[in-house]
Structure 1
Amino acid sequence: MEINNVLQRELKDSWYVKYEEMSFPAVQKGWVLPPDRWKDFDPFILMAEDWFKRGTFSEHPHRGFQTITYVIDGRLEHTDNHGGHDILEAGDVQYMNAGWAALHAEEAVDNDIAHTLQLWLNLPKHQKNTPTTYQNVYIENVPTVSFDGGAVHVYSGNIEGLKGPIESVVPFTLTEISLSDGASYNLRLPENHNGFIYMLSGDVEFGHNQKSLKKTAVATLTYKENGIDTKESELRLKANARSKVLVYTGVPIKEEIVAYGPFVMNTMEEIKQAYTDYHSGLFSKKG
């Protein structure tokens, strides 16, 4: 539906995350975006919500995609093969371009239980061998737009005239929207971006169809597949309770992928080469 030549976004598909208890030192896991539906989520591949103790995600490799890790609660300690080390807290985000050869660890600090969302964002074939980079974004450095009854934190992309600090190889938008009970907001997004929302808390009605979602709900969004970056669409939100929601969008890459273990490539032969390179020590030489 269009109003005044502006595409009105609606929820396309929605579900609630199902969680399972894990073996120590992991605690609990849920698939926000299940990995077997990546074609529906393109350019996104999967998103996991994890609660974990130290020792769950010790040093491990990646190649061929990007990660966006949002810390919900607890403290997350990051170390990598480029000499990076930092501790992220609630509301902070780490962006990683695994590119050619990432080798890193993501650990809870001390006796904390870290609670995170990690999104995998695909790289197109011609960018899978790009240099590995890491970027930590702290909540106090995220530009914010206030409106009557709420605020929008812009982590990535251009929203409300503000540019988010994340410098991504593949452009995407990431906003966190906080609403008080009864507040409304219209989020403007590029019309050709595929996207999804995740409910961190509360109860929100989305779109002109007023579909209500509560905490731990996920929904994909309608979009214009043949639209253009420079033309905006609109997603309507109205809170029925104090709420917080994350919105992620990006342009589909439309390439076949093979996701196997910690690698995302275009063919199984490339996956085998990634394992060969890792076991031969090439990943550790990239720091």
Structure 2
Amino acid sequence: MTERYLREVKDHWYVKYNEMGFPAIQKGWVLPADRWKEFDPFILMAEDWFKKGTFPDHPHRGFQTVTYVVDGRLEHIDNGGGRDILEPGDVQYMNAGWAARHAEDGVENDVAHTLQLWLNLPEDKKKSETIYQNVYGEDAPVVPFEGGSVKVFSGKVAGAEGPLDSIVPITLSEVTLSEGAECTLDLPENHNAFLYVLAGDVDAGANKVNLKKHGVGTLTFNEEGKGKSELQLKSHKRRTKVLVYSGAPIREEIVPHGPFVMNSMEEIKQAYDDFRSGKFGPPAL
């Protein structure tokens, strides 16, 4: 039997938060944007608390978003006629592709608390069709184990396949553990990966790095590997919850600028020109 690659925590830190001007409330960078080459295919991840009016109608091009609702309610509106409200534990996927135009807002007086991941698109898919997909928490398969469970939103993890259908395949799983519980997650060996501790206290990786709430850990991987790898987790608190993300690196130079992610500054300028000239369509209202 071939030995599986054992993941270790390569780097780790705790998210720092800044108070924002109303109707935004607070923001922290789970994955800071200036380290995108290290995180590839992930560009950044923002953790936001906000009320209605923070993210009205705006455009995107050249990348994907994966938004996890931690608390409160999030209303999504797009200019293709889509409108829905997501609640805690729900996920929204967007392939901005060539021209997305949407709004993301708190509902009524709720404070929406979200984690939004920006996921790169390869150059040949940056002008793909714009797609939105809502994945409700109850529709994601749950795999129980002694002392906890794994909920699979995307990819194949723990013998289950999540419903999120990303243009660039990724895995996203939510691991819940009670005190003393242990779990080993299977992840594609060639996927770059990171984890974020939503609650509790966990030892992560074969090197058993301890992370508590708001802790982020990037993981070692074997980019040339073709098999599975193992991520070991052990909880030290009664209620530990960890999100684990993985994806294969794209290895292309990108220019993240405002709401667009392209491969050159010329393409960024073209995106702004296209938006101003109406090529992104009517506002999302």
| TM-score, length of structure 1 as denominator length | 0.97
User: Is 1:73 the equivalent of 2:46?
Assistant: no
Cα distance in structure 2, aligned partners of 1:50 and 1:206: 25
In structure 1, the residue matched to 2:46 is 48
Cα distance in structure 2, aligned partners of 1:11 and 1:261: 31
Superposed displacement of residue 207, structure 1: 1.9
Cα distance in structure 1, aligned partners of 2:260 and 2:273: 12
Cα distance in structure 2, aligned partners of 1:95 and 1:236: 27
Superposed displacement of residue 32, structure 1: 0.3
In structure 2, the residue matched to 1:261 is 258
Structure 1 residue runs without a partner (length 5+) = none
In structure 2, the residue matched to 1:105 is 103
Q: What SS does the aligned partner of 2:250 have?
A: coil
**For 1:239-269, what per-residue CA distance to the aligned partner results, in whole angstroms no more than 9, with x for missing partners?**
0112000000000000000000000000000
Cα distance in structure 1, aligned partners of 2:282 and 2:201: 48
CA RMSD of the aligned region, Å? 1.2
Q: What SS does the aligned partner of 2:281 have?
A: helix
Cα distance in structure 1, aligned partners of 2:117 and 2:108: 24
Question: In percent, how many aligned pairs have the same letter?
Answer: 65
Q: What SS does the aligned partner of 1:276 have?
A: helix
Superposed displacement of residue 4, structure 1: 5.1
**For 1:23-73, what per-residue CA distance to the aligned partner results, in whole angstroms no more than 9, with x for missing partners?**
000000000000000001000000000000100000000000000000000
Cα distance in structure 2, aligned partners of 1:166 and 1:139: 11
| TM-score, length of structure 2 as denominator length | 0.98
User: Is 1:64 the equivalent of 2:59?
Assistant: no
**Number of matched residues?**
283
Q: Which amino acid aligns with 1:173?
A: T
Q: What SS does the aligned partner of 1:283 have?
A: coil
Q: Kindly report which structure 2 residues correspond to 1:205-284, keeping only aligned pairs within 5 A, or say none.
A: 205-228=203-226, 231-241=227-237, 242-284=239-281
Which of 161, 164, 178 is residue 163 of structure 1 equivalent to?
Answer: 161
Superposed displacement of residue 82, structure 1: 1.1
Q: Does the 8 Å CA contact 1:82/1:286 hold for their aligned counterparts?
A: no
Q: Which amino acid aligns with 1:12?
A: K
Cα distance in structure 2, aligned partners of 1:134 and 1:156: 14
Q: What SS does the aligned partner of 2:57 have?
A: strand
Superposed displacement of residue 208, structure 1: 2.4
Q: Does the 8 Å CA contact 2:25/2:50 hold for their aligned counterparts?
A: yes
Q: Which amino acid aligns with 1:156?
A: S
Q: Which amino acid aligns with 1:96?
A: M
In structure 1, the residue matched to 2:89 is 91
Q: What SS does the aligned partner of 1:284 have?
A: coil
Cα distance in structure 2, aligned partners of 1:36 and 1:211: 24
Q: Kindly report which structure 2 residues correspond to 1:186-201, keeping only aligned pairs within 5 A, or say none.
A: 186-201=184-199
Shift of the 225–263 alpha-carbon distance from structure 1 to 2, 3 Å rule, reads same
Q: What SS does the aligned partner of 1:226 have?
A: coil
Superposed displacement of residue 286, structure 1: 10
**For 1:80-127, what per-residue CA distance to the aligned partner results, in whole angstroms no more than 9, with x for missing partners?**
011000000000000000000000000000000000000000000000
Q: Which amino acid aligns with 1:274?
A: A
Cα distance in structure 1, aligned partners of 2:2 and 2:205: 16
Q: What SS does the aligned partner of 2:252 have?
A: coil
Superposed displacement of residue 226, structure 1: 1.1
Q: What SS does the aligned partner of 2:196 have?
A: strand
In structure 2, the residue matched to 1:27 is 25
Q: Which amino acid aligns with 1:11?
A: V
Cα distance in structure 2, aligned partners of 1:61 and 1:177: 33
Q: Does the 8 Å CA contact 2:57/2:283 hold for their aligned counterparts?
A: no
Misfit runs of 4+, over 3 Å: none
Structure 2 residue runs without a partner (length 5+) = none
Cα distance in structure 2, aligned partners of 1:105 and 1:85: 10
Q: What SS does the aligned partner of 1:55 have?
A: coil
Superposed displacement of residue 225, structure 1: 1.5
